[in-house]
Structure 1
Amino acid sequence: MSTRPPTPSRRALLRALAALPASALLLGEMPGLLGTALAAAPPSGSATRYTIVPFLNSNDGTVNVYQSDDATDFRLTKASAYTPPSNRIRDAGVLKHTNGYYYLTYTTHTWQDVSTTIGFARSSDRVNWTFLYDYTVPLANLSRAWAPEWFVDSDGSVYVIVSCSLTSDEWIFTPYLLKAANSALTAWGSPVALSGIGSNHIDTFLVRNGSTYHAFTKNETTKYIEYATASNLTGPYTISRTGDWAGWGSYREGPALVQLDNGGWRIFFDGYGDGTYYSSDSYDTFATWSAPAALPVVSGTARHFTVVKETVSGGPSLAKGVTRSFRSANFSTRYWQSQSALLNLPVVSASSTAAEKQASTFTVVAGLADANGYSFRDTSGNYLRHWDFRGRFDANDGTSTFAKDATFIARTGTSSGSLRFESYNYPGYYLRHYNYQLRVDRTDGTDLFRQDSSYVPVTAWA
């Protein structure tokens, strides 16, 4: 975590700047779970695709498009993909609608200005966007309408949650719900406040899990992301987690959630206090969370985004029930090999011994924890699994922990025909070679890491 001194709050900065003279101011979606797909590894020939459309730390007049297959390593798809015809674009939320189009909604003005509208844009391909309209939020005495977020309920109804402040106190925000009045998303119902969350909360993000609505919202006084639940969409919500309840730290905003391929939930949030973008995972319905980890590539560049998750065609394919050897994509003479139960990457050739060739041959089977994933069995019947982040071969003990440790999700590699194998229970961690030993390490977003974690399935040595 950063040891920098705390950054002044946005509200404090806004009040201070307001007092200065002008001359001093320079989703295949699951119903109700926005941007998520059914929790399972993608089937053979398909791939998971996560899309974000953030505005830039250096420029709130445009947005970039990034995509990822693992919700960790986001790669730039198009820079300056959309620039509105006027005003700004901040806090952009993205939706895959039932008509096949992608939609953006966003804050239309920079934070210094009065802003009573939210913007909308549309795309057929996530990359090229067309401005639709600016919508004036019909709230009496409205001062600012900020950070609109999409929500789709279990009946397919589409909503936008928008944080609004009134002229009586332009820096005190309350979350309101706007319901789409038509399928074209061009008409909206009257704003309804989310009961129980109350004023001085901003950037509210909702997901529905079963019959419960879960809200993640930033408290503008404490600068912590809080957690609330309700049995009805409009509330009343009960805020049950406050302060640093999840270990994410303070000066965090813009929470957005997506469900991962292994069923866990990942939250993304903007660490504006230290200039870092973070993610954190939960596997117990939001009760506990992993330590926040900085996102590679986009940290320091991207600001306040939401995520669309889809399963798309054209993903990696690897036959199951057959034997294969696995060649390093960037060290073409080196192959996976079991050595004293550990997975290493030695040189293997036609002149290698029969024992070496046999130790470099593996049976590809359906994933022990997810049949769409993959597990690998050596010639003695032991399975490749990670233990203390090291790749090793052990007998299956029948536990769910072993099954997860021994399951990998195939992702597309860096060269033609190559694959990357992501840990099922440590999303964003890959089998990669280091000093010719195979470990499960978290991607750092570099091309070298991607090359070191790419392997080509080839005809078995034995």
Structure 2
Amino acid sequence: MTTPPPAPSRRTLLRAMAAVPATALVLGETPGLLGTALAAAPPGGSATRYTIVPFLDSDDGTVNVYQSDDATDFRLVKSSAYTPPANRIRDASVLKHTDGAYYLTYTTHTWQDVSTTIGFARSTDRVTWTFLYDHTVPIAGLSRAWAPEWFVDGDGSVNVIVSCSTTDDEWIFTPYLLRATDSALTAWSAPVALAGIGENHIDTYVVRIGSTYHAFTKNETTKYIEYATAAGLTGPYTISRTGDWAGWGSYREGPALVQLDNGAWRIFFDGYGDGTYYYSDSYDTFATWSTPEALPAVSGTARHFTVLKETVSGGVSVTKNVTRSFRSANYTTRYWQAQSALLNLPVVSASSTAAEKQNATFTVVPGLADANGCSFRDAAGNYLRHYAFRARFDAHDGTTTFAQDATFVARTGTASGSVRFESYNYPGHYLRHYDYQLRVERADGTDLFRQDSSFVPVTAWA
């Protein structure tokens, strides 16, 4: 085992996580997700899947496809998955359409060149892509059309928001809306500027929650991501947050949002000024945000992407209301065991004492904060929860915080039959053994971490 990375400050994370109960109803339309729904962990036999299709820091002529089940630990599905027949591919945005197919829209030229078109490609599996066409954005004197972003509205209409500049000042961008006028996504309305955001803003990304449209857009003068709201998709928007209002820093671009299984909103953005790709979470409808973290594995490789979230079949199922023991997937003689209220990973065998076997036996119940998740009780009725990132057993105190601390979302493990247990209120953090102690730690994108956080539910020792 390697030395684990330092755990983030609990106070820092809780600052953004304590504002909304886990059961709060969060309504929204995001690219590829039509309608409204209560955020929840996937039911047994299903899995959450996040897909990104970024261009590379080293090559803007092609894109890779990555996927993740937690919006943190992205793994390569296919390299050079799509290369357009001509020009470049930058800032790709991905959509799943009502025909069941996936669509990309993207910037067609590198930043130095005049770019009056946006590109489109199609796939039936997210992996193999076919070029469709380049669409010329009909704006008089257009110099550059950049960073097109899909937006599906509540009425099902499919839109693209694209940043455009004209020849009188090729570096002053304004966001425009194009609306698809056919279901094949081959015909588009005339562009309409998003009122209120105005000139000198680029990479505008919009989500809708209830009847309010929330826009995140980069101010090209200050290099900060700003925040605006409107009652209609085309505005007028009111920009209410400027400067370093969220603590993300400057020289940030390409904001993209997705709603996580626990109801939080996660923003991703390209920290092009320092070569890092970041994410940050909000639990209070964008008022406050967690300290930005570098995205494991793809940071430094991937550039400007959006995130498609789906619920797909094939996820792990963990049987509830039964007793189980949990064996380490990579240390196969070691099992979860409660020792002085802490969860450790000692060797347990047929020759272990009755007490040792009992302490390695747990009742799996529906998650206290989300019934699709899991909670675990020991023989004394105490629940497994994380505290200061250490896994331990405590009596349920009836609070929302305890319920969240004691709920884990089952994700597919590395070995056959194994499961990884993601913290419900610290997305991307998993129960992981280190020095044969169980802690909740953030995924670091390595195979070792995935192995150390994989456990096999087996017949109970007691």
Which TM-score band (shorter chain)? over 0.9
Q: What SS is found at the alignment partner of 1:135? A: strand
| 1:307-346 to 2 correspondences below 5 Å | 307-346=307-346
Q: 1:379-408: per-residue Cα shift (whole Å, max 9, x none)?
A: 100000000000000011111110000000
Is the 8 Å Cα contact of residues 31 and 156 (structure 1) preserved in structure 2? no
TM-score (norm 1): 0.93
SS at match of 1:289: coil
Could you tell me how far 1:91 is from its partner in structure 2? 0.3
- Supply the distance in 2 between the matched residues of 1:194 and 1:313 (Cα, whole angstroms): 38
Q: Which residue of 2 aligns with 1:79?
A: 79
The 5-angstrom pairing of residues 87-106 of structure 1 reads 87-106=87-106
Q: Which residue of 1 aligns with 2:275?
A: 275
2:217 maps to which residue?
A: 217
Structure-2 residue corresponding to 1:51: 51
Q: Deviations over 1:83-129 (max 9, x none)?
A: 00000000000001111010000000010000000000000000000
Within the alignment, does 1:240 sit opposite 2:240 as a pair? yes
Structure 2 distance, partners of 1:148, 1:403, is 40
- Structure 1 runs (4+) deviating above 6 angstroms are none
Cα distance change of structure 1 residues 213 and 308 upon mapping to structure 2, 3 Å threshold: same
CA-atom RMSD, angstroms?
A: 0.8
Please tell me whether the aligned partners of residues 269 and 304 of structure 2 are also in contact (alpha carbons under 8 angstroms): yes
Mean Cα displacement is larger for which, 35-44 or 309-318? 35-44
* Cα distance per residue 1:335-359 (max 9 Å; x no partner): 0000000000000000000000000
Cα deviation, residue 31, structure 1: 6.5
CA distance in 1, matches of 2:95, 2:404: 31
Q: Which residue of 2 aligns with 1:154?
A: 154
Tell me if structure 2 keeps the 8 A contact 1:35–1:307: no
Measured in 2, the distance between the counterparts of 1:34 and 1:362 equals 40
- Are the counterparts in 2 of residues 31 and 152 from structure 1 also a CA contact under 8 Å? no
Amino acid aligned to 1:33: T
* Matched residue, 1:289: 289
Q: Pairwise mapping of residues 13-412 of structure 1 onto structure 2 (< 5 A)?
A: 32-36=29-33, 38-412=38-412
CA distance in 1, matches of 2:234, 2:311: 31
One-letter amino acid of the structure 2 residue matched with residue 169 of structure 1: D
Check the 8 A contact 2:32/2:97 in 1, yes or no: no
Matched, 1:446 2:446: yes
Query: SS in structure 2 opposite 1:402?
Result: helix
Letter paired with 2:222: T
Structure 2 CA distance, aligned partners of 1:98 and 1:264? 25
- Whole-angstrom distance in 2 between the partners of 1:412 and 1:329: 12
2:343 aligned counterpart, secondary structure: strand
Residue 416 (structure 1) aligns with: 416
- Percent identity (aligned): 84
Unpaired runs of 5+ residues, structure 1, are 1-29
Tell me the distance in 2 between the aligned counterparts of 1:38 and 1:165: 39
Amino acid aligned to 2:107: T
- Number of residues paired by the alignment? 433
- Structure 2 gap segments, 5+ residues each: 1-26
CA deviation map 1:311-369 (0-9, x unaligned) = 00000011101000000000001000000000000000000000000000000000000
- Give the TM-score, by structure 2 length: 0.93
Q: Which amino acid counterpart does residue 177 of structure 2 have in structure 1?
A: L
- SS of 1:246's equivalent in the other structure is coil
How far apart in 2 are the matches of 1:211 and 1:231? 6
Deviation at 1:39, TM superposition (A): 1.1
**Tell me, what secondary structure is at the counterpart of 2:449?**
helix
Give the C-alpha shift of residue 38 in structure 1: 4.6
Is this contact kept in 2: 1:146–1:164, CA < 8 A? yes
Q: Tell me if the contact between 1:35 and 1:258 (Cα under 8 Å) persists in the aligned partners.
A: no
Deviation per residue, 1:68-89 (Å, 9 max, x gap): 0000000000000000000000
User: For residues 327 and 242 of structure 1, what CA distance do their matches in structure 2 show?
Assistant: 50
Query: Are the equivalent residues in 1 in contact too, given 2:28–2:210 (CA < 8 A)?
Result: no
Give the aligned residue type for 2:411. R
User: How much does 1:442 deviate?
Assistant: 0.2
2:28/2:207 contact within 8 Å kept:
no
